[in-house]
C-alpha cells in the first residue's frame, strides 16, 4: 500500500492585517509577521502591540500557526525591549519566534524555555553542521539558505536534527543572507537591521550586463513534486512588503499545488508572474543552473501586467461546525456543537428557552435545521446538522437563533483559549568581563600580498585554506587558515579534507566565518577565532561564541568602534581597523557575467587568469571582486576602513588585505605603528 506523503506547511507572509487575512483565506497553514520593531522588514506596515496579539489569537482560533519575526541584529540596549516583545507574543500563544541574533535567542530560551525558536535565513543556514549547532542553542527549525540546490537540500532534510524550512517563492537577494553589508557601508542603511536600500537592484557599468546584481524572483512552483518527498517542514513565500492581493494570489496557487501534489502549469506560472516578477522567475540555484539567465529587473511590462490582475474573491476561512439539537416538551432547548480544527474536535453544549407543547402549529425539525445553519459572519460553516424534535412541540424561532448564537460564542471562546501558561519573569542584566587584548591579526585574500614585514608584525595571519596549502608559509607559527564563508552539505566532505590537510601542514588556528565551521575546526584541533561575518552586536551573542569554545571574536564592523569596545566577553574581542570589508558573498559568479562569458560554469577559467575583477557603479566607484571556493565571488567595499589613528580601547586590531600591493601592505603597517591619519578615500566605523 502506497504511503501518503505528509504535506509540508505552507507559510505565508503578512506585512499588515489585510495581508494576514488574505493569507488565511487563501489557505496558508501558517503566517509569519512582525511587530513595528526588531524585524527585517522595517518598511512594511507591520503590526502594533495590540494588533499582533489580536492576530495571534485570530490565527490560533482558526488553527493557523503564527511565526513572529524578530530577525534583526540588536545592540545591547535594545535586547530588553525585544525580550519584552517576545514575552508578549509568547504569552499570547505565538507558535514560534524567528530570530537571527543569537544573543536574543539565548535570552528567550533562558527566560522562556518552552518557546520555539526558528533560525532566520540571516543566520546563514546552509548545511547539517549548522543545524546541529543551532539545535544545541535551542532552535527547533532552520530556514535554509535560498541558494540551496536540490542535491544539498536532500542531504540536509535527511540529516538535520531539526526541521528545515525553505523559501519557494519571492525576491532573491544576490548575496547570501546575513552576509550583505553593501547597503550599510555605502548608504548607512543596514540590511541586518531591516533597512536595506537594495543597491543590488541598481545599474552598474558592466560589459553587456547593466544589472549584474539584480536577480529574478525565485519560484519553485514548477518543482513541487521534487520537494514533497524530502520531508521539508515548511514552504515559505517571501513578501511582507507585498500587497494583500499578491499574498492571496500566490498562496492560493501554492495551496492548490500542494493539495493536488503536482507542479504548476504554464498558465499558473504566468499568473504568478503577473502578480509580481522581475523579468520572470528563476530556479537556477535549486537546479544548479547558475548563469546570467538568472538576472532580471522589474520592467514596465511587468508593472503593467500586475496592474491588470484582478483581486481574487476569496471566501473567509471557516471551521466546519456539526450541530445536534434536542427539543422535548417541558425541557430546555439543548444544542451540542462540534468544530473540526486540523485533527482535533472541540465540543461544547448550551441550553436555551423552555420547549412548549404545541396546541396548533408545531415547529418542524426542518425549520429548526434551517435556522441552525445560518452561521453568517461567524467563523463557522455548517456541517452535519441533526435535529431531534418531539412531535407537536413549539418554541420561538428567536429562541433557536439565540441558542445558536450562544453555542457559537461559547465554542469560539474554547477555540481561542490559550493553553500557554503566562510567564512574566524579572529580567536581570548580566555583567560581562571586557578582556583586553593588544594582539594584531590580519586576513589576506591572497598569499602573494603577505610580506616579511607582515609576518613580523602580525600575531595571527589567516589565509584561505587553498592559499595556505600552496603558500609555503606552513612553517610560520603565526600563519593560520580561514574557512570559506559558504559550503552546502554536498561540499562539506571536501572542506573537511582540506581542513585536515591544513592541520597536517601545521595550522593551529582557524578564522571561523560561519556557525557550521566550529565543529569541523574542533575535530581538527584548531583554536577557534570568530570572524566579523558572525554578526556579533552585543555581549549576549558574544557569550554564545564563548560557550562554543571560541578563543577570540571580531565584533561586527557595523557596530561603531566606541560601542564595540563596550561589548563585553570573557574572551579576546577585536575590531576591523583597516581594510576593504567583504560586503557581499555571491553564489553566482558575477565575474563571468562581467566578462561576457557564455561558457558553462565548470569550464570557465576567467577567475584563474587574474586575482581580482572590478565592478564599477554609476558614479565610477569601483568594488574589487575575488573568487571564493568554487565559483562563488566575494565583493569588497570600494574603500578601506581606516581606524589606525584611533584608540581601540582593549579591542585587538584586525586588518583585511585584498588588492593591496606588497609595498602598500608595508605602508599600512608603518601607518599603524605611527598611528598616522588616513590619506585618500576611506571609511570610519
Three cell numbers written together for 403? 441558542
Average pLDDT over residues 228-253: 96
Average pLDDT over residues 326-349: 94
| Angstrom distance (rounded) from CA 565 to CA 434 | 8
pLDDT digits (tens, 9 = 90+) for 142-162: 999 999 999 999 999 999 999
Q: Residue 305: is its pLDDT beyond 60?
A: yes
The 3-state DSSP composition of the chain as helix, strand, coil percent (nearest 5) reads 35, 25, 40
* Residue 354 exposure: Cα atoms within 13 Å on the Cβ side: 3
pLDDT digits (tens, 9 = 90+) for 358-394: 888 888 999 999 999 999 989 999 999 999 999 899 9
How far apart, in Å, are the Cα atoms of 374 and each of 323, 351, 515, 546?
Answer: 12, 18, 56, 62
Q: pLDDT tier at 606 (50, 70, 90 boundaries)? A: confident
| Angstrom distance (rounded) from CA 643 to CA 577 | 5
Q: Measuring CA to CA, which residue among 414, 413, 408 is closest to residue 322?
A: 408
How big is the chain, counted in residues?
685
Instruction: Provide the terminal-to-terminal Cα distance of the chain, rounded to the nearest Å.
Output: 64
Two domains, one topology: 9-172+217-266 and 440-674: yes
Fold of 9-172+217-266: TIM Barrel (3.20.20)
Angle, vertex CA 329, rays to CA 328 and CA 334, nearest 5: 40
Backbone angles phi, psi at 516, to 5 degrees: -65, -20
pLDDT of residue 200: 94
Backbone angles phi, psi at 61, to 5 degrees: -60, -35
Average pLDDT over residues 61-72: 94
pLDDT digits (tens, 9 = 90+) for 185-213: 988 899 898 889 999 999 999 877 899 99
572 contacts 437 by C-beta, under 8 angstroms: yes
Cβ-based neighbour number of residue 162 at 10 Å = 20
pLDDT digits (tens, 9 = 90+) for 512-562: 999 999 999 999 999 999 999 999 999 999 999 999 999 999 999 999 999
Average pLDDT over residues 110-116: 97
Q: Residue 609: is its pLDDT beyond 70?
A: no
Percent of the chain with pLDDT over 90: 84
Would strands 440-444 and 460-464 be described as parallel, antiparallel, or unpaired? Answer: parallel
Q: pLDDT tier at 43 (50, 70, 90 boundaries)? A: low
> Hey, is 171 helix, strand or coil?
coil
| Angstrom distance (rounded) from CA 488 to CA 153 | 9
Q: pLDDT tier at 670 (50, 70, 90 boundaries)? A: very high
Dihedral of alpha carbons 493, 284, 172, 268, sign:
negative
Q: Measuring CA to CA, which residue among 658, 655, 640, 664 is closest to residue 576?
A: 655
Highest mean pLDDT among 136-140, 176-180, 183-187: 136-140
Q: Residue 75: is its pLDDT beyond 50?
A: yes
Average pLDDT over residues 246-267: 98
What residue spans define the domains of the chain?
9-172+217-266, 319-416, 440-674
* Type and span of the H or E element at 496: helix 492-505
Architecture of the domain defined by 440-674: Alpha-Beta Barrel (3.20)
pLDDT of residue 1: 42
User: For all residues of the chain together, what is the average pLDDT?
Assistant: 93
Q: pLDDT tier at 42 (50, 70, 90 boundaries)? A: low
Would strands 633-636 and 622-627 be described as parallel, antiparallel, or unpaired? Answer: antiparallel
Q: Residue 343: is its pLDDT beyond 90?
A: no
| Angstrom distance (rounded) from CA 209 to CA 596 | 8
| Angstrom distance (rounded) from CA 568 to CA 114 | 28
Amino acid at each position: 500500500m502506497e504511503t501518503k506523503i505528509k504535506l509540508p506547511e505552507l507559510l505565508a507572509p503578512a506585512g499588515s492585517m489585510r495581508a494576514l487575512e488574505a493569507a488565511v483565506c487563501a489557505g496558508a497553514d501558517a503566517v509569519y509577521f512582525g511587530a513595528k520593531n526588531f524585524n527585517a522588514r522595517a518598511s512594511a506596515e507591520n503590526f502594533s502591540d495590540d494588533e499582533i496579539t489580536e492576530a495571534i489569537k485570530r490565527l490560533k482560533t482558526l488553527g493557523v500557526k503564527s511565526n513572529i519575526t524578530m530577525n534583526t541584529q540588536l545592540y545591547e540596549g535594545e535586547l530588553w525591549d525585544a525580550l519584552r516583545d517576545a514575552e508578549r507574543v509568547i504569552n499570547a500563544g505565538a507558535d514560534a519566534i524567528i530570530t537571527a541574533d543569537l544573543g536574543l535567542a539565548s535570552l528567550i530560551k533562558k527566560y522562556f524555555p518552552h518557546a520555539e525558536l526558528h533560525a532566520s535565513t540571516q543566520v546563514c543556514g546552509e548545511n547539517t553542521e549548522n543545524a546541529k549547532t543551532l539545535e544545541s542553542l535551542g532552535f527547533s527549525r532552520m530556514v535554509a539558505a535560498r541558494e540551496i540546490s536540490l542535491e544539498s537540500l536532500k542531504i540536509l532534510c535527511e540529516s538535520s536534527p531539526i526541521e528545515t524550512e525553505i523559501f519557494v517563492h519571492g525576491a532573491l537577494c544576490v548575496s547570501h543572507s546575513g552576509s550583505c553589508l553593501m547597503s550599510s557601508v555605502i548608504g548607512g542603511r543596514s540590511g541586518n537591521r531591516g533597512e536595506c536600500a537594495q543597491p543590488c537592484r541598481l545599474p552598474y557599468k558592466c560589459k553587456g550586463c547593466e544589472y549584474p546584481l539584480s536577480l529574478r524572483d525565485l519560484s519553485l512552483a514548477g518543482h513541487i513534486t521534487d520537494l514533497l518527498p524530502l520531508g521539508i517542514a515548511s514552504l515559505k513565500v517571501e513578501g511582507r512588503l507585498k500587497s494583500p492581493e499578491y499574498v492571496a494570489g500566490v498562496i492560493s496557487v501554492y495551496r492548490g499545488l500542494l493539495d493536488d501534489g503536482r507542479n504548476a502549469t504554464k498558465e499558473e506560472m504566468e499568473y504568478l508572474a503577473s502578480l509580481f516578477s522581475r523579468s520572470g522567475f528563476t530556479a537556477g540555484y535549486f537546479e544548479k543552473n547558475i548563469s546570467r539567465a538568472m538576472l532580471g529587473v522589474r520592467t514596465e511590462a511587468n508593472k503593467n501586467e500586475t496592474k491588470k490582475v484582478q483581486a481574487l474573491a476569496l471566501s473567509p476561512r471557516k471551521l466546519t461546525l456539526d450541530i445536534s439539537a434536542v427539543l422535548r416538551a417541558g425541557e430546555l432547548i439543548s444544542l451540542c456543537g462540534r468544530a473540526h480544527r486540523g485533527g482535533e474536535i472541540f465540543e461544547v453544549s448550551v441550553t436555551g428557552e423552555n420547549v412548549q407543547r404545541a396546541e396548533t402549529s408545531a415547529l418542524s425539525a426542518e425549520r429548526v435545521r434551517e435556522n441552525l445553519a445560518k452561521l453568517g459572519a461567524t467563523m463557522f460553516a455548517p456541517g452535519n446538522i441533526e435535529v431531534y424534535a418531539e412531535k407537536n412541540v413549539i418554541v420561538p424561532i428567536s429562541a433557536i437563533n439565540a441558542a445558536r448564537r450562544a453555542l457559537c460564542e461559547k465554542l469560539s471562546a474554547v477555540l481561542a483559549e490559550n493553553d500557554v501558561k503566562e510567564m512574566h519573569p524579572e529580567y536581570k542584566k548580566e555583567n560581562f568581563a571586557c578582556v583586553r587584548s593588544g594582539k594584531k591579526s590580519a586576513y589576506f585574500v591572497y598569499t602573494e600580498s603577505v610580506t616579511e614585514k607582515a609576518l613580523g608584525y602580525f600575531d595571527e595571519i589567516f589565509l584561505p585554506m587553498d592559499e595556505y596549502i600552496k603558500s609555503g608559509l606552513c612553517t610560520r607559527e603565526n600563519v593560520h587558515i580561514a574557512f570559506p564563508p559558504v559550503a552546502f552539505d554536498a561540499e562539506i566532505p571536501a572542506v573537511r579534507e582540506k581542513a585536515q590537510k591544513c592541520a597536517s601542514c601545521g595550522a593551529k588556528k582557524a578564522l571561523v566565518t560561519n556557525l557550521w565551521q566550529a565543529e569541523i575546526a574542533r575535530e581538527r584541533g584548531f583554536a577557534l577565532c570568530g570572524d566579523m561575518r558572525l554578526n556579533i552586536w552585543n555581549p549576549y551573542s558574544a557569550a554564545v561564541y564563548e560557550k562554543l569554545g571560541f578563543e577570540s571574536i571580531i565584533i561586527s564592523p557595523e557596530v561603531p568602534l566606541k560601542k564595540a569596545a563596550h561589548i563585553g566577553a570573557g574572551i579576546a574581542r577585536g575590531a576591523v581597523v583597516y581594510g576593504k570589508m567583504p560586503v557581499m558573498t555571491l553564489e553566482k559568479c558575477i565575474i563571468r557575467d562581467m566578462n561576457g562569458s557564455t561558457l558553462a560554469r565548470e569550464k570557465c577559467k576567467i577567475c584563474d587568469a587574474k586575482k581580482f575583477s572590478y565592478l564599477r557603479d554609476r558614479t565610477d566607484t569601483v568594488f574589487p571582486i575575488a573568487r571564493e571556493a568554487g565559483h562563488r565571488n566575494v565583493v569588497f567595499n570600494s574603500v578601506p576602513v581606516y581606524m589606525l589613528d584611533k584608540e581601540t580601547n582593549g579591542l585587538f586590531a584586525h586588518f583585511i588585505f585584498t588588492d593591496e600591493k606588497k609595498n602598500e601592505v608595508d605602508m599600512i603597517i608603518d601607518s599603524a605603528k605611527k598611528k598616522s591619519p588616513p590619506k585618500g578615500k576611506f571609511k570610519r566605523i
